[in-house]
Amino acid sequence: MSAPVRLVLASSSPRRRELLATLGVEFEVRPADADETPREGETPEPLVLRLALAKARAAARPGELVLGADTIVALDGEPLGKPADAAEARAMLARLSGRHHQVWTGVALVERSAVGARERALAVVTDVVFRTLEPAEIDAYVASGEPLDRAGAYAIQGGAAAFVASVDGSWSNVVGLPVGAVRELLARHGRSPADFAAAPGVSRRT
């Protein structure tokens, strides 16, 4: 049987925290940052895998299992991260209008011990299609402020839900954490959500 460890989420995202909680686990939140600038020629899958691992490594401490994640939107294979300002958010949404794009999330687990570190990672992709957006719709959505801290300048669980024509794949992946993939990654690591089950009435530490 695996030794008891504490589960840590290396993210400040309330969306990831809510999604991880659906597995019924108790966990600590310890945000970790990484330079999200793509390397020259880096495609979406290796990018999200690298960043998820970087975030998990940055937060890792002995005796803990740390979960890191990174999400990007990709249009024609080009990664679209978080917009720098309203003008960039508006431009991203205009590019996504009426188009098919992908949402990639990398998830990674890092467990450190006295003898080294065990690391695992996988990437999930979901296909999303936007209907054609009117300029006034884009302007109103950008004015709401919601796009400014979102990969691809939109939140499918928020105001951009009305922009989506179809989703093929994991919906939670588009939100920011593919819950099924987290469960799969835990299993590959020899763990399960039951190993971190929250006791009744116990609050998750944040």
Catalytic residues: 70
Distances (CA, A) of 145 to 56, 98, 158, 187, 192: 28, 22, 11, 38, 37
Burial class from Cβ neighbours inside 10 Å (0-12, 13-18, 19+) for residue 21 reads middle
Give 61-79 as a DSSP string. -BTEEEEEEEEEEEETTEE
Residue with tokens 């958010």: 89
State the Cα–Cα distance between residues 151 and 18, nearest whole angstrom: 18
Checking phi first, is residue 145 left (phi over 0); if not, alpha (psi -120 to 50) or beta? left
Tokens of residue 104, six digits:
């990639």
Q: Check if the beta carbon of residue 30 is closer than 8 Å to that of residue 8.
A: yes
User: What is the Cα Rg of the chain in Å?
Assistant: 18
